[in-house]
A and B are shown apart, each in its own frame.
Chain A
Amino acid sequence: MAAEPLPLEKERPKPIEAVPVRHPGRWLAVAVLAVLAAMFVNTVITNDNFRWPIVAQYLFSPPILNGLQNTLILTVLSMLIGIVGGVALAVMRLSPNPVLSGVSAVYIWLFRGTPLIAQLLFWNFLAALYPRLSLGIPFGPEFVSFDTNQLINQFAACLLGLGLNEAAYMAEIVRGGLQSVDQGQSEAAGALGMSRAQTLRRIVLPQAMRVIIPPTGNETISMLKTTSLVVVIGYFELLTSAQRIYSVNFQTIPLLIVVAIWYLALTSLLSVGQYYVERYYGRGTNRGQTGARLFPRRDQQQAAGAHG
């Protein structure tokens, strides 16, 4: 059968030139916002009570930078403990082994159910409960023994308090992520002869990351500021450093501005980092960042149209 040639393309109609929908509301909103922004900038510049010279003077001063350094170290290490612990707890929680699952449940219940400040104080004053910690056979001989106060100094107490508490919250975030991955993925991996551990590490966890990362970003940003609680056990970080300064010189507002500037800068940095991590774990999915499906950009809408 001779294939009938497809009808030659007729002259293409001209592209549509329609008047786009007008958005007068947007213009009005922009105008209002512009006025408000101008007023804000104006007051920030002209109101001397902000004391910008003092802000500038303290922004990079050694005590502030010292505090900033502690904030960073505490945040990074606590989140590290929190994430590693959280993954372990989540995996235990979902394990078919009732012992592991039970231990994890109790841990989460305990650490989420008691105030963080109480936990920090507890770790700091552990020596009052147990002056010495030792390794050995239960009810039997001891091999090594430590003075609790030397083993758990202030810094270690901060990390234990913040990290172990964070692990409980991260556990629930990771569990949610793991459970969001389609059951068929584990079945496919299992049918290929992969073990549960291999399936988790290679198949389920990488896919769960897409769901885990946004709330983890939240937790990290929140941790940045939660570290200021270590003041209850006499440790110091950014906010504490500022408070010490303004309790002496009474420049409260300028120093709080200094602190706010640093927190904002760190948060912005983290958001940029999160964008790249999300992009990495979003590979293979067209969605990319969360919400792109709900609020597609124009070019994505067109790409989707071409598909279907």
Chain B
Amino acid sequence: MSVPMVEATEVHKSFGRVEVLRGIDFVVQPGEVACIIGPSGSGKSTFLRCINHLERIDAGQMRVNGELIGYREAGGRLYELRESEVARQRRDIGMVFQRFNLFPHMTAAENVMEAPRTVRREQRQSARKRAVQLLERVGLAEKCDSYPGQLSGGQQQRVAIARALAMEPRLMLFDEPTSALDPELVGEVLDVMRGLARDGMTMVVVTHEMGFAREVGDSLVFMDEGRVVEAGNPREVLTDPKHERTRSFLSKVL
């Protein structure tokens, strides 16, 4: 079997005295779409942020594509990675945030071009050309030169997806990508994500969209109080949850 794209083993994380993650085991194979659901405060967003080392884990292991994240192992000891090495690891991991976090002083195309230009030192013209292609792919060809402030929430989130794709990541992380959107705008973002999944992108999606999880997800994880309560096939977990906690959560959101 191939190396898992994401392999978390016994991941622990505390903020001060609050233990947010209490031993998470989690595996995503290449090409899979894994959805994480759970009540707020369950640690699902924190866990997602541990995958690209936006949060540093306290115990356990996080591997992406077989490579240890945030640390280097040598002679049975762990060495913290330098900032530049962490940055290199992050290039292969795209991330989409709940609140978009587009750069407001740059147009849509400039947002998408930024990382290829500064990180990969790409030429302006070729970066611009690819940015336009990516914006076309998320259905925003005509918005290249608009500033984020001139776009709707759904459009902004699609630009954010294009921006993450510009670094040609092997893995995409989505942190509640539709939670800050008006209901009528959720569909357009989910459509783009569906397209990505169809093209074989490996994705980890923290979401409240049960329909999306059921339809697109290859696996589903239900988290509560920093633990994985239940994991499995999305259709099975959603229709026939094994745990009482999962049942009561689903009865509230479905």
Contact = CB atoms under 8 A, between A and B. Distances in A.
Contact of A187 (B54, B88, B105, B164): B54
A47 interface: no
Contacts of B103: 185, 188-189, 203, 207
Contacts of A182: 101
B87 A285 contact: no
A283 B105 contact: yes
Interface residues of A, number: 23
Given A184-B97, A198-B118, A192 B163 contact: yes
A192 B119 contact: yes
Interface string A179-196: 000101101111111111
Given A184-B101, A207-B104, 10 more contacts: A184-B97, A187-B54, A187-B97, A188-B103, A192-B91, A192-B115, A193-B88, A203-B103, A285-B104, A285-B149
B244 interface: no
Nearest to B92: A193
B27 interface: no
B167 interface: yes
A145 interface: no
Contacts of B94: 191-192
Interface of A: 182, 184-185, 187-196, 198, 202-203, 206-207, 281, 283-286
Interface in B83-101: 83-84, 87-88, 90-91, 93-95, 97, 99, 101
Contact of A193 (B97, B102, B167): B167
B114 interface: yes
B155 interface: no
A191 B160 CA distance: 12
B148 interface: yes
A203 B84 CA distance: 17
B106 to A, nearest CB: 7
Interface string B154-168: 000000100110010
B174 to A, nearest CB: 12
A190 B90 contact: yes
17 contacts: A182-B101, A187-B97, A188-B101, A190-B90, A191-B52, A191-B90, A192-B90, A192-B114, A192-B164, A192-B167, A193-B87, A198-B119, A207-B104, A207-B105, A284-B149, A285-B105, A286-B149
A188 B104 CA distance: 12
Contact of B87 (A187, A195, A206, A286): A195
The secondary-structure label for the interface of chain B is mixed
A191 B93 contact: yes
B26 interface: no
Nearest to A201: B118
- Kindly list the 7 A-B residue pairs having the minimum CB-CB distance in the complex, ordered from nearest: A193-B91, A188-B101, A192-B115, A191-B95, A284-B147, A184-B101, A193-B90
A202 B118 contact: yes
Contacts of A283: 105, 147
B101 A190 contact: no
Contacts of B148: 284
Contacts of B102: 188
Contacts of B149: 284-286
Contacts of B84: 195
A182 B101 CA distance: 9
B167 A185 contact: no
A195 B87 CA distance: 6
A196 B83 CA distance: 8
B101 A187 contact: yes
A165 to B, nearest CB: 31
